[in-house]
Amino acid sequence: MRASTTRPSAPRTAVFFHAHPDDEALLTAGTMAMLAAEGHRVVLVVATSGERGQADLAPGEALGEARMAELYKSAAALGCARVVNLGYGDSGLAPGGGIAEDRPPNAFIDADGEEAARRLAAILTEEGADLLTTYDPAGGYGHPDHVQVHRVGGRAAQIAGTPIVLEATVNRDPLLRGLKLARRFYPQLDVRAFERAYSRGEEITHRVNVRRFARQKRASMAAHATQATGADTRTLGVMLKVPGPLYRLVFGTEWYVRRDLAAGTRLRHPFETPPKA
């Protein structure tokens, strides 16, 4: 299926909406670097500063500041033109997954969704955004703040009239294969946690080949030092140790679902439009 496709000749603006610093590194970094390299304006928006993430630093303001500094470093590596933090509190994650009870009063999941969507919509309008990325309805691996990104992002695009909404996700099938392979080297890796996460291959409309941007993606991951050091079980720490060739194999593609396109659509570029039927 190599039908004719249309790509824009004029630069466009893409806004990548993420829950916490470091989510951009795992899910969309290659696409961001690619669009920036093509001359498009790439804007990174986070809902929180991730001040309750796992780290050697105690959760709190200092960790939030450190993680925002890391986010700026990552954004620079990817060629972002602007970084915005909506400033909600990191809702954290309960020990077994799910909603933490000891979350801060301004936690993103407790925010008025309509108000949060209006704030994001204001950025989309100001930027004249052509494209917004959110998350799949499952919120990837199910972090409550990620589910909220899906809700708030979709509504914001509606308010602002942003024409393209892509749900950043992972094709669960190669992810599980990759993790099972990685488990040979890191037996402590919990593969079961990913069995119902993200999206099935058949739901995915966009498979973006980002192999050429593996260096930038790795630099983006490496920028998030607080999330990549210490215990081996932390996802980023494990990912960074994956040897180069395997890394390119596992992380060479980024996946998106565009819900307004027919099932079975297979596109390779975020701004690509499907050939007319």
The residue (of 19 and 111) whose beta carbon lies closer to Zn ion is 19
If one asks whether residue 130 binds Zn ion (CB under 5 A), the answer comes out as no
Q: In this chain, which stretch among 22-30, 62-70, 79-87, 260-268 interacts with Zn ion, using CB under 5 A?
A: 22-30
Binding string, residues 77-106; x marks residues near Zn ion by CB under 5 A: ------------------------------
If one asks whether residue 19 binds Zn ion (CB under 5 A), the answer comes out as yes
The residue (of 17 and 160) whose beta carbon lies closer to Zn ion is 17
d(CA 274, CA 34): 20
The residue (of 41 and 146) whose beta carbon lies closer to Zn ion is 146
If one asks whether residue 20 binds Zn ion (CB under 5 A), the answer comes out as yes
What are the Cα distances from residue 193, in Å, to 175, 190, 204, 249? 12, 6, 20, 21
Count of residues of this chain found to bind Zn ion when the rule CB under 5 A is applied: 3
The residue (of 37 and 100) whose beta carbon lies closer to Zn ion is 100
Would you tell me which residues interact with Zn ion (CB under 5 A)?
A: 19-20, 23
